[in-house]
Amino acid sequence: MLTVCIQAGGASSRMGEDKALKPFLGRPLIQRVIERLTPIADELIVTTNRPEEYAFLQLPLHSDLKPGRGALGGLYTAIASAAHPHVAVVACDMPFASPTLIEAMSSLLVAKEADVVIIKSDHGYEPLHAVYRRETCQPAIEAALELDLWKVVAWFPQVKVHVLNEDEIKSSDPDGLAFWNVNTPDEFANAERIASGQ
């Protein structure tokens, strides 16, 4: 059973406005991400510290359980708020978030007996398009927060992490767009062009 959590935090400083609510092909970007992932979710939740702005989604909204702890606190909230044992955490600014890839990652979590299934790109780990085992990850993140660690992957040495290889990614995400997040108006416009041509 899979909980999909869409994270709608972050300052969107490079965009100049809230990315999640910015219209993407005529509707809020977060709505596109939700619609893409709804078919694979046994539960779908949103983490946000501005729940009044996201009430229109008519989904369970969860504010930070560990306020002021940045991305790691947000990840903790996502995993701790999930009802199901496997949790896919996806950023709200990923217009090509892939249900196929998330499903493959969820299957690998079981097959590899892993606690985290994640992609590692040239920029490092992609924790906001990854799948987590709630039972083992929640206490590991909590321990990291208690040690005043801030890095979102600071707790990885405490759990079993399976990093997807290129073949595993390409079979589910041949275009390589799944974990592309849009940070600037130019990237946003480019993503709209690609999406309208799909």
Nearest to 101 by CA among 198, 170, 181: 170
d(CA 163, CA 118): 5
**pLDDT at residue 16 greater than cutoff 70:** no
Q: What is the percent of the chain where pLDDT is above 90?
A: 83
Q: Give the residue-averaged pLDDT of 24-36.
A: 96
Residue 91 has phi, psi (to 5 degrees) of -75, 150
- Express each pLDDT in 62-105 by its tens digit: 999 999 999 999 999 999 999 999 999 999 999 999 999 999 99
Q: How confident is the model at residue 151 (pLDDT cuts 50, 70, 90)?
A: very high
- Express each pLDDT in 43-64 by its tens digit: 999 999 999 999 999 999 999 9
Q: Can you give the CATH number for the domain in which 168 is found?
A: 3.90.550.10
Residues 6+ apart with CB under 8 A from 166: none
Q: How many domains does the chain have?
A: 1
Structural domain of residue 148, as residue ranges?
Answer: 2-196
Q: Give the residue-averaged pLDDT of 177-184.
A: 90
Q: Give the residue-averaged pLDDT of 25-36.
A: 96
